């Protein structure tokens, strides 16, 4: 399949220029004014062409719980999340489709799904998500979320003796599962990759990290994990290792140019140097960090230290959407309040670069996608500059990032295959998806969590918060 996008606006060093773009099979083959037509013609006039963005951290199945979890910190929020997590692979399929659709409709052409696995149906969960991503046509990096410690181990002890029950699966079983997933589903040429993705230091043993590193080296897999999302995790790392989580991950060899780490809110200056030295990527999830009160990640410091930064929506139970443009906007302007020197602030063009090329660097694929260059994969998005929210005509990228763009994407392609045409998702019916999400859920504003009530007293005590009566905990 070949096509030519004619008379389209693209950014350049001077501002913008109008060009034609030729695509043959899965690649961009020419970018210049007045090119001969190859294949189908796409009228690019009054449209802006950008490389697709990367939604570099999410958890698709959280879609089933969006809007329902009350304002609470991660350690309590996650207890509730896991108590009501979906248990049917068909739900995992629908939420993967929903995540892919919302990511595509807001400029993303790749998604990193740190996929929560249904206990006892782990491979079925991965198969369901993989089918969902293939059906929609988005480039998918499936990162099965594994751990080998119980949730309660994720809260610092504060020096008390705390016994944790053992996790439902062994370290070896988790690693075997991952290897099977790689053999069954890792198909980089087809746009589906498996990543090794221990959830983070808070719930994983060193043996699990070591096994993930070994698989990553053996199969050339990218590595992903949460890192120092909360203050509690910073305390926990000191209890567990006697040093920072970043120093520990460096010592055990997890950090590398293939490693992307979600959140990175509580790093100190030495940690930031290690992130730069190891060429690890920070995935910035600003909306989740605000929603869970985790803090403001020191993104301007990362950028000044030369650390690559990309953007993620994070799962829909801590955001509660997959609007990538919203995450990029918030992730850019949030930091203006952290540094009085406005010369350090993130410009809209820098934000676009972080979301596209930064996302590709974080997946060790910047040689393949993430920029508008001849030879790169055709992961492309056309923005309709006649959409009301992108008018009047000022600076298209400025308004795309700083405004509130609504339904602005006219066409998009992944690997040269069209996934959005005339503002509509091509390969699945969004109406059918909405119908199934409606039918398979119910209004439930009064849900109570027993798991939160069990955890809350210890969390409050360790974090130095006043004691409360437990009955208040789940209101
Ligand atoms: Zn996450």
Q: Judge whether 264 and 299 are in contact, CB under 8 Å.
A: no
CA of 402 to the centre of ligand 1 (A): 25
CA of 314 to the centre of ligand 1 (A): 5
CA proximity to 59, closest of 322, 399, 430? 322
CA of 190 to the centre of ligand 1 (A): 25
CA of 57 to the centre of ligand 1 (A): 6
| pLDDT tens across the length of the chain (475 residues) | 899 999 999 999 999 999 999 999 999 999 999 999 999 999 999 999 999 999 999 999 999 999 999 999 999 999 999 999 889 999 999 999 999 999 999 999 999 999 999 999 999 999 999 999 999 999 999 999 999 998 888 888 887 777 777 888 899 999 999 999 999 999 999 999 999 999 999 999 999 999 999 999 999 999 999 999 999 999 999 999 999 999 999 999 999 999 999 999 999 999 999 999 999 999 999 999 999 999 999 999 999 999 999 999 999 999 999 999 999 999 999 999 999 999 999 999 999 999 999 999 999 999 999 999 999 999 999 999 999 999 999 999 999 999 999 999 999 999 999 999 999 999 999 999 999 999 999 999 889 899 998 889 888 998 899 998 865 544 4
SS3 146: strand
Distances (CA, A) of 237 to 24, 240, 453: 50, 5, 25
CA of 363 to the centre of ligand 1 (A): 16
CA of 264 to the centre of ligand 1 (A): 11
CA of 415 to the centre of ligand 1 (A): 27
CA of 116 to the centre of ligand 1 (A): 10
CA of 227 to the centre of ligand 1 (A): 9
CA of 388 to the centre of ligand 1 (A): 33
CA of 273 to the centre of ligand 1 (A): 23
User: Can you give the three-state secondary structure of 348-414, one letter per residue?
Assistant: HHHHHHHHHHHHHHHCCCCCCCCCCCCCCECCEEEEECCCHHHCCCCCHHHHHHHCCCCCCEEEEEE
CA of 146 to the centre of ligand 1 (A): 12
CA proximity to 130, closest of 141, 120, 145? 141
Q: Which H or E run includes 310?
A: strand 308-311
SS3 63: helix
CA proximity to 376, closest of 360, 363, 355? 360
Q: Judge whether 316 and 99 are in contact, CB under 8 Å.
A: yes
Domains of the chain: 2-50+372-436 (2.30.40.10), 52-362 (3.20.20.140)
CA of 12 to the centre of ligand 1 (A): 34
CA of 17 to the centre of ligand 1 (A): 38
Please tell me the distance from the alpha carbon of residue 111 to that of residue 100, in angstroms, as a whole number.
7
Q: At what angle do helices 231-241 and 450-462 cross, to 10 degrees?
A: 70
CA of 75 to the centre of ligand 1 (A): 12
């Amino acid at each position: 399949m070949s096509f030519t996008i004619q008379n389209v606006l693209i950014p350049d060093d001077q501002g913008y220029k109008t060009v034609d773009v030729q695509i043959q099979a899965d690649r961009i083959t020419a970018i210049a004014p007045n090119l001969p037509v190859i294949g189908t013609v796409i009228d690019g006039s009054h449209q802006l062409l950008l490389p697709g963005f990367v939604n570099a951290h999410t958890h698709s199945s959280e879609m089933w719980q969006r809007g329902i979890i009350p304002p609470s910190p991660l350690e309590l929020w996650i207890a509730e999340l896991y108590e009501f997590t979906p248990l049917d692979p068909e739900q995992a399929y629908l939420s993967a489709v929903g995540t892919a659709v919302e990511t595509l409709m807001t400029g993303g052409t790749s998604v990193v799904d740190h996929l929560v696995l249904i206990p006892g149906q782990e491979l079925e969960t991965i198969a369901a998500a993989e089918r969902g991503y293939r059906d929609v046509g988005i480039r998918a990096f499936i990162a099965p979320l594994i751990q080998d410690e119980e949730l309660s181990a994720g809260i610092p002890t504060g020096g008390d003796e705390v016994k944790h029950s053992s996790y439902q699966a062994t370290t070896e079983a988790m690693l075997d599962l991952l290897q099977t997933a790689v053999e069954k589903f890792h198909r980089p040429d087809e746009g589906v990759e498996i990543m090794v993705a221990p959830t983070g230091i808070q719930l994983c043993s060193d043996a699990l990290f070591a096994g993930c590193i070994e698989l990553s080296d053996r199969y050339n897999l990218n590595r992903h994990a949460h890192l120092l999302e909360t203050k509690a995790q910073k305390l926990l790392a000191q209890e567990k290792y006697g040093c920072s989580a970043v120093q520990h991950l460096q010592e055990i060899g997890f950090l590398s140019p293939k490693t992307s780490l979600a959140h990175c809110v509580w790093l100190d200056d030495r940690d930031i140097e290690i992130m730069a030295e190891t060429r690890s990527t920070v995935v910035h999830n600003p909306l989740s960090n605000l929603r869970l009160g985790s803090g403001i990640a020191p993104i301007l410091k990362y950028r000044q230290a030369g650390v690559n930064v990309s953007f993620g929506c994070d799962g829909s139970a801590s955001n509660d959407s997959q609007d990538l443009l919203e995450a990029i906007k918030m992730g850019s302007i949030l930091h203006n309040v952290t540094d009085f020197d406005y010369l350090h602030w993130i410009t809209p063009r820098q934000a676009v670069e972080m979301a596209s090329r930064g996302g590709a660097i974080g997946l060790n694929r910047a040689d393949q996608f993430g920029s508008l260059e001849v030879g790169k994969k055709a992961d492309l998005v056309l923005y309709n500059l006649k959409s009301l929210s992108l008018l009047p005509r000022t600076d298209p990228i400025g308004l795309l990032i700083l405004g509130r763009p609504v339904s602005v994407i006219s066409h998009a392609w992944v690997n040269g295959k069209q996934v959005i045409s005339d503002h509509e998702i091509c390969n699945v019916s969004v109406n059918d998806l909405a119908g199934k999400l409606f039918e398979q859920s119910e209004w439930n504003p009064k849900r109570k969590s027993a798991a939160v009530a069990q955890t809350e007293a210890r969390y409050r005590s360790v974090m130095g918060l006043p004691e409360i009566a437990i009955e208040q905990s789940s209101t």
